Structures are given as C-alpha cells and as structure tokens.
Amino acid sequence: MTKGVIADGELPISLSEVELASHAAILHGRPESLQRDIDMVERQYWLENVINQIPDYIYAKDLEGRFLFANQAVVANNGLSHLADLVGRTDFDFLPRHVAETAADVERRVTETGLPHFGSEELAFRGGGERWLMFTRVPLRDASGTIVGVVGASRDITAQKSAERRMRSQSYLLEMIARGTPLADFLDELARMITGFSEDVHAALLTIRPNSGQLRMVAAPTLNEEYQRRVNGVSILPVTANLAMIEAALKLAFDQAGISELDHQCHCLPISDADGQIEGVLALYSSEASRSQPGFSDFVSIAVHMAGIAISRHRAEARIRFLADHDPLTGMANRALLDRKLTLAMQKADLRGGEVALAFLDLDNFKLVNDSLGHSVGDQLLKIVADRIYELIGDHGSLARIGGDEFVIILESMDIKSCLGLLSAIREAVARPIALHEIELRITCSIGVATYPSHGKSAGDLLASADMAMYRAKELGRDGIALFTAEMTATVRRKLSRTDELRQAILRDEFVLHYQPQVDVQTGRIIAAEALVRWNHPCEGLVFPDDFIALAEETGLIVPIGEWVLRTACSQARTWQEQGLGSIRISVNVSARQFQERRLIETVAAALNETGLDSSWLELEITESLIMKDLAGSIARMHELEKLGVKLAVDDFGTGYSSLSALKRFPLSRLKIDRSFIADIPHDADDMAITSAIISLAQKMGLEVVAEGVETEEQARFLVESGCKEAQGYLYSRPIEQERFSRMLESNGRDHP
Ligand SMILES: Nc1nc2c(ncn2[C@@H]2O[C@@H]3COP(=O)(O)O[C@H]4[C@@H](O)[C@H](n5cnc6c(=O)[nH]c(N)nc65)O[C@@H]4COP(=O)(O)O[C@H]3[C@H]2O)c(=O)[nH]1
C-alpha cells in the first residue's frame, strides 16, 4: 500500500506518518524515531488485518487501472491466494472484456473528475450463480492532494436484490389475479418466472379436476407438446394418498417426451386452496446441472401460494358463472338458460324449417317423498332422476330443471313420433326403482308435450302449452304423456277465471253451510249434523262442492275455505246448544290439502276456543285414500287431533285400500260406509255382503258406523238388521239451510222422546 495516501470520502484507507508517529509516542513513550518506525509497521499490519476481515470488497488501483492493494475478499474473488499475485494486474486480466471496460470507464471518470461514484449495482462475474454487488469508487490522492488512482469498495447485495425481485414478482402476480387474468395466462407467466429463476429447471403447472381427479395441463412453457399430451388426463385419485405417485407419473411423462438427455428428477408441490383442499400441482424438474439463483426456493413457495389463490379464484368465478345458468342441485340448466336455449332452437327451426318439441315433466307425488322421507332423500332422488333423463336425451336436445320436481326437455330435429318414443323411454327410466338409504323408491312422472311453431310462437307460450299438457297428463291418472291440444287452452282459461272467482268469493264471504242430519236408524232421532259447504255465486246461484272443491284443493284455496267452514260449523253447533236445541255432534270434512297443512291442529284448537264448543262434539271426516297416501304422517296427525279431544271418522269407507292392520293403528271413532255400497241395496247381493262385513268389522274393532246415502226404507231396514245404528241420507233429509235445520232440531226432542 502507498504510504501517506488518503482517499477522498469518509473512509481513510491509510493514516499519515505524522498521525501514526504521534499516536505511537503517546502510547509507548519510546525514543521518538525508533518508536515511530516500529509503530508504523505494527500499525500497517494491524490495519491490513482489519481490512482483510471485512467481507466487503476493498481495493485501490492506480491511474492505469492496476491493482495497488486489495483486501483478501478481492484476492480470493479473483481466484488468487496472495495479494502479491494481484498487485500490478488489471480487471482485463480477470474479467470478460466488456465488463472490465465498464469498470474502467467508471474509474476513469472518478479519477478525471475527482468526483466519487456511489451506489452502482453491478452483476458479479465470479463466485458461481448470479451475484449482485453495490459499488462505491472514490479518488485516491497522495499527501499533496493529487489524484493518483481510485479506491473501490463493494458489497454483496444479492440477498437484498433477490428479495426485491421476489417482492416485484409477487406484486405483479397479485395484480394479474386482481385484474382477472385468465388462469392459463397467469399460470403460464408463473411457470416462466420460476424457470427464469434458474438454469435447466423446468416447471409445469397442473390443476386437478374436482370430480374425476384427473390432471389438467395448464402451463409448461419450457416443455414440449408430447409431454403436455402425456400428462393431460392422468388420473391421480385419491390425490392426498401419495404425492410421490404423482411425481412418478410426471417423471415418466418427462422422460418419455424426450425433453432432456440429463436425468431430471421430478419434485411436486401441492397447490391448495384456503381450506387446504388440493387444487393442483407444481411439478419442478431439475438435474445435477441445474443451477438456481439465490432465493429460488422462497420464490417457489410464493409461486405455489399465488397459484392456489389464482386457481381458487378461478374456480369460484366459474362456479358463480355456472350458478347463474344452472341448478346447483342437479347441475342441469336453469330457467334462464332454458329460455335462451329454447329461443335459439326456435330461431334455428325458423331457418331450417323444422320443429322443436318441448316436454314439461313433473314427478308424481314428489311432495310425499319429501314430506315423509325428508329433503335430503328428496334431493338425492331428484339428482338420480335428472341423471337418468340426461343420459337418455344425449345429443337429441337439452334438459333443464325449473322448479322443485319440474324438468323441461327441449328436443330438436326429431319428428313428433320419435320425440314421443324418446319421452316414453324417459318415463320408463324415471319409473325404474331407486334404492336410497335401504329403501326402494318408485316414482312416476307426468309429461306434457308442445311443439313449435304449432303450439306457441314464443318460448313463454310454448312452455305454458307444455305445462297445460302436463296437467292434462296428471288429470288422466298420472304416469303418462299428453300432447297439447288447443282445447286445453280453453280449459285452462276457464280454470284460471274460476280460481279468480273463488278467491273473490272468500273475500266477499260468499260461502254458506248446509247441514244434513245423521240419525239413529231405529228411532229416527237426529244425533249429528254434517256441515256441507255451498257457494252462493252472485250469477250462478247456489254452486255445489263437486264444482269447486277440487279446484280449491288444487290451488290451495281450500285452506282458507276450510278454516271458515270449521269455525262456522263449531259456532253453529255451540249456538244450537245455547238455544237449548240439544247437543249434537257436528261433522266437518277435511280434505287432503287441509290435512297436510301444518296449521291444521292450531286452526282446530282456535275454532274450538273461539266458539266455546267442547271438542268432544266435533268430528272430522277424512277420506280413506288421504290416510293411505302418507300413512305415517297421517297417524301422527290423527294422534295430535285425538289429544285435542276431537273425534275422527273415515269418510267413503270401502272405496280405498286400507288394510285392516293399518286401520287398527288409527285413533278412529267412526267409519262412514260409502254411499255407493248402499245405493243398490237390496238388489245387489255383493254390496249387501260388503256392507254387513264392514259393520261387523267396525263392531269388532269397537268403532261406530254411519251408513251414507240412505234413500229408502229397505236400505234402512237392512242396516238395522245388520247392526248399523246410524244413518244419513235423503230418506231422513237432504242437506238443508241452518234455519231449517234449527227447526228440525226443535221438533227433534218432541218427536223422539
Ligand atoms: N245421492 C245421494 N247423495 C247424498 C245423500 N245424502 C247425502 N248425499 C250427498 O253426499 C255428500 C256427502 O258428503 P261427502 O261424502 O262428505 O262428500 C262431500 C265432501 O267430500 C265435499 N265437501 C262438502 N263440503 C265440504 C267442506 O266443507 N270441506 C271439504 N273439504 N269438502 C267438502 O263435497 C262432497 C259433496 O258434497 P255434497 O254435494 O254436499 O254432497 C253430500 C250430500 O249432499 C243421498 O241419500 N243420496
């Protein structure tokens, strides 16, 4: 090192002789000249030692760029062992020419201008891998202040640089995600970044198809098509079982695709979503020759994390897009997509001159499955049915689910005969037994068909026509197919206007109750009254239940009508009691829809409460077929009513299919023999046999019996002889208005003491 040279800037590279001498004299008190020489040597040795311990690179060069001094870090970095081997040589002896020239230019500027050069970042060319240095160069001056060279110091900033690069990449990737860059483009960029971080490393990003567990090749910019073809579709179920299995499969594809002569190992990293669910895989291929830049493994961790975010986001967006057009339960098209597809099919038919068939399919009695077996069984059943229909439709058209148990099928380019053939096959497929939770279910469907352009010019009209035809199929006994006819429109219009009238009738209080007596067959004394509703229509006069109860049932209007009947009948029975006309049982009909209403129990309790009628005087008539539709539910409901103290009678007994064993489980008090058995007595021996059998059956089971529709004395006599105690029918009285019934009751006590 040159004696007495102080560099500009803050770092003194060497102390002046004067300074060293005076310090040394103070420290040791030796004769000044000797002491000065000894201390100089010591001091120089000490200083060099300190400089050599510093990991930064420190050197001094003369004006020709020749090394005057360098610390050990510089010596070693140039591949030398001793400083002496470096002194006198230049960068041109060690570095590529263009690099040495760049350094020489900077140093020349410093020596010529005398201005220091701070903080330039330069790539290092020795030491393996990519390394970055931060350089500072200051002029080297002699004691007179003349510039005699340059002093350089540099620091390894590789770690800092790679952290910066990671941060930049990360924010760029996040920006891509935020901008909604397509997943393939994002993963492609990510794979490029990974491979840009290393030499001879290949990266492939693959997603895993959620249902099939198959790999889907998304990005592998440095790998050939053969590799991508081999990897695409590889099944890796179960994903979590073994990552090594995936690695083995991907390594094989790599080797077979002939990408490199070297033996590349495959290392897979799972890409997971926020819940830890594996969504994809990053496959890294590296060999012995592969070299990565510092921070590579940190970047790979970030890349995997970013890929997880991007794939999750992509899947969430895809799901949202899917749900906008599809039914989440079955995965079939929803109403919105159906409308679009139908409109398109109609436009195509216009162009090509063909027809479009639209089938409206509704499951029969699906509500019963839902109510009795629960919604989860109902859902599974819907999925199975949807799959069966979908499979059969194949390429002939498309399927949509537009409501609880309502499906719509569009069939294109098929004549109506083939359409009906296909729909028949669908009907049969739906009816095939379905095994669910150890139960074997059977469900049928009703299908209505309408065609374009004959039965509707718009998607909405065509759907309405198919819907009407479906209702017709239901009316015809369900489990069938009906083709739309123009006459259906008139029927539906009538129905709609009748429904509207019924709704108005409820608001305007147009219903009245008539009462028909039930009598003791032996004495003729009135023991009960059946309340029968009539509609006092403003134009049509008195309308009988057969004309409106079914429609009220279908539209649900039976619920408010039934509530009114119940309250009015209870109130009337209570009034008769208060008027001293005697306590008689009041019988009220309850239809299927009313019986299924959850509110029924509350409604009955409220009617009794409001009117003050004792529950033992109220009897509800339910039909046999209603009970058999949902046996378990009906029994539970009956027990709840029994708890209220209300009596229960089975109406129309003998017309349904109730088994004796089932009957025993019902908390019943009375059977009403259907009037169809009574009508032909005494001419029909079979009916007589059935009637007497029902009577003796009821007696054995401790039930009362009422015979309905008794019109003649012979019928009454036969019933007495058969042991039936109560009867109802025109023989005794037709259903009559309340005033007349009250008068009948007045004489009831007198005539029958
Ligand atoms: N041929 C003949 N018929 C007789 C004789 N005796 C009575 N009838 C008729 O038989 C029906 C008896 O009522 P139902 O079987 O419960 O059958 C009822 C019942 O199922 C339903 N219904 C009536 N009122 C109501 C109600 O308030 N709520 C509900 N849910 N249904 C009702 O309407 C059906 C018909 O009622 P209606 O037209 O009043 O017809 C009544 C009555 O007029 C007879 O000797 N011969």
* The domains spanning 39-158 and 180-323 adopt the same CATH topology: yes
Angle at 390 between CA 388 and CA 394, to 5 degrees: 120
CB 502 within 8 A of CB 558: no
pLDDT digits (tens, 9 = 90+) for 617-658: 999 999 877 777 677 778 888 999 999 999 999 887 766 555
CATH of 180-323, one of 3.30.450.40, 1.10.3720.10, 3.40.50.2300, 3.40.50.1220: 3.30.450.40
pLDDT digits (tens, 9 = 90+) for 723-737: 999 999 999 999 999
Closest ligand 1 atom to Cα of 565: 27
Q: Would you say the C-alpha torsion 55, 60, 66, 71 has a positive or negative sign? A: negative
Fold (CATH) for 333-484: Alpha-Beta Plaits (3.30.70)
Higher per-residue pLDDT: 718 or 26: 718
CA distance 688 to 749: 32
Domain boundaries, the chain: 39-158, 180-323, 333-484, 505-743
CA distance 471 to 493: 13
Angle at 40 between CA 38 and CA 42, to 5 degrees: 70
Angle at 160 between CA 156 and CA 161, to 5 degrees: 90
CA of 536 to the centre of ligand 1 (A): 16
Name residues whose C-beta falls within 8 Å of residue 206's C-beta, 6 or more positions apart in sequence. 215, 216, 217, 218, 231, 280, 281, 283
The Cβ of residue 513 has, within 10 Å, a number of other Cβ atoms equal to 22
Q: How many separate helices (H) and strands (E) can be counted in the chain?
A: 27, 26
pLDDT digits (tens, 9 = 90+) for 444-458: 999 999 999 999 999
DSSP letters of 309-342? Answer: HHHHHHHHHHHHHHHHHB-TTT--B-HHHHHHHH
CA of 709 to the centre of ligand 1 (A): 10
Closest ligand 1 atom to Cα of 513: 27
CB 352 within 8 A of CB 453: no
Q: pLDDT band at residue 126, thresholds of 50, 70 and 90?
A: low
- Calculate the average pLDDT of the chain: 88
CA of 564 to the centre of ligand 1 (A): 17
The residue-averaged pLDDT of 288-317 equals 88
CA of 72 to the centre of ligand 1 (A): 115
What superfamily in CATH does domain 39-158 come from? PAS domain (3.30.450.20)
DSSP letters of 89-113? Answer: --GGGTS-HHHHHHHHHHHHHHHHH
Residue 236 has pLDDT above 80, yes or no: no
> Which residues are near ligand 1 (CB < 6 Å)?
516, 532-533, 544-546, 549, 558, 562, 565, 589, 591, 621, 651, 675, 709-711, 728-730, 735
CA of 609 to the centre of ligand 1 (A): 27
Using CA positions, which residue lies closest to atom 10 of ligand 1? 709
CB 707 within 8 A of CB 727: yes
DSSP letters of 189-242? Answer: HHHHHHHHTEEEEEEEEEEE-TTT-BEEEEE-TTS-HHHHHHHTT-B--SGGG-
Choice from 532, 623, 675 to test ligand 1 binding pocket (greatest atom count within 8 A of CB) = 532
Residue 398 has pLDDT above 90, yes or no: yes
Higher per-residue pLDDT: 676 or 652: 676
Residue 221 phi, psi dihedral angles, 5° rounding = -60, -25
Using CA positions, which residue lies closest to atom 3 of ligand 1? 709
Closest ligand 1 atom to Cα of 728: 6
Residue 18 has pLDDT above 80, yes or no: no
Structure token digits, residue 469: 């035809």
CA distance 231 to 542: 79
What superfamily in CATH does domain 505-743 come from? EAL domain (3.20.20.450)
Q: How many CA atoms lie within 13 A of 125 on its CB side?
A: 12
Residue 704 gets which letter from DSSP?
E
CA of 685 to the centre of ligand 1 (A): 25
Structure token digits, residue 535: 């509609």
CB 435 within 8 A of CB 490: no
Structure token digits, residue 106: 């900077």
